[in-house]
Amino acid sequence: MDRQNSVDETGNGSARFLPLKGNSFRFRCHRHISCFTKCCANLNLVLTPYDILRVKGRLGMSSDEFLERYTETRIDPQSRFPKIVLKMDRDNGNTCPFVNPKGCTIYEDRPGACRIYPLGRGVMKVDQEKEARRRFFIVEEGHCLGFEEDKEWTVEEWMADQGLAQYNAMNDRWSEIMTSSKRLGPEAHIPHKLQMFAMASYNLDRFREFLFKSRFFELFELPQNQKDRLEKDDLALLEFSVEWLKFSLFGEKTIDLRKALGHHKQYQS
């Protein structure tokens, strides 16, 4: 789910998730509306790997710096994988650290959940099905006056206007891992696999070090041009991390081995 600040998670009890009637809704947010930026406080905003890539790039920070300064790790009992949550500014009314009275200071690279609001988008990939299941709904918060404005959108118009195509494409790929029901293997190996998940998902700098400073390319067959992209292109690296996680977590044959099948057991178990 892209928009993660539900009733229980916001702490203000004002959010409701309502079915989207038809394919259109009325909404407009602007600086002169009295509730401007109120939706940017008291959030439990889950960041996807692509969100992190965009925001840390905007700030010119390393993965370690960004994660340490701006995020917290949460363990959700409903998910076997750790989630990264944006840390609110507790010294400034528990607001988003990137908002000021004029609005969002990282607007062009804001997280997908902020872009899609006031819509919510649920995505689930069932292992046996080729296409992911998607649904849209309205996130209605008591303070928001944007629904009283006169601008009407279709879902497709809103998604295009907010620049969500790349976000959705990357997040949908990651959701295949998050929602997979495939086993992680023996209990003794699960802590190591969760560490691998966290690194490959959230800390691209360390994942790149893992690839280039270990024996990875001695064990796995990748074309030279792909290796070159992984060394320099964060987006290519993030796309590859999904394939690697499918291999290392679930044993899917997404990466070719160079040598004996025994190496597969080393990484997959």
133 and 206 together in one domain: no
167 and 215 together in one domain: no
* Amino acid identity, position 17: F
**Nearest Cα to Cα of residue 172 among 250, 74, 239:** 239
154 is written with which tokens? 């279709």
How high is the pLDDT of residue 76? 83
How high is the pLDDT of residue 10? 32
133 and 33 together in one domain: yes
How high is the pLDDT of residue 78? 82
Residue 46 within any structural domain of the chain: yes
How high is the pLDDT of residue 11? 31
Residue 134's DSSP bridge partners are 123
- Stretches where the chain sits below pLDDT 50 are 1-13, 261, 263-264, 268-269
| Domain limits for position 206 | 187-268
Look at residues 127, 148, 178 and tell me which one is the last residue of a structural domain.
178
How high is the pLDDT of residue 15? 78
- Give the DSSP letter of residue 242: H
User: Looking at the whole model, is its pTM more than 0.85?
Assistant: yes
How high is the pLDDT of residue 165? 96
147 and 61 together in one domain: yes
122 and 197 together in one domain: no
147 and 37 together in one domain: yes
How high is the pLDDT of residue 127? 63
Q: E-strand spans in the chain? A: 15-19, 24-26, 46-47, 71-74, 83-86, 99-100, 103-104, 119-124, 133-141, 152-154, 220-221, 256-257
How high is the pLDDT of residue 267? 52
42 and 166 together in one domain: yes
How high is the pLDDT of residue 17? 87
**Total structural domains within the chain:** 2
241 and 194 together in one domain: yes
197 is written with which tokens? 């998940």
How high is the pLDDT of residue 179? 87
Look at residues 178, 207, 235 and tell me which one is the last residue of a structural domain.
178
DSSP string for 170-216: HHHHHHHHHT-------GGGHHHHHHHHHHHHH-HHHHHHHHHSSSH
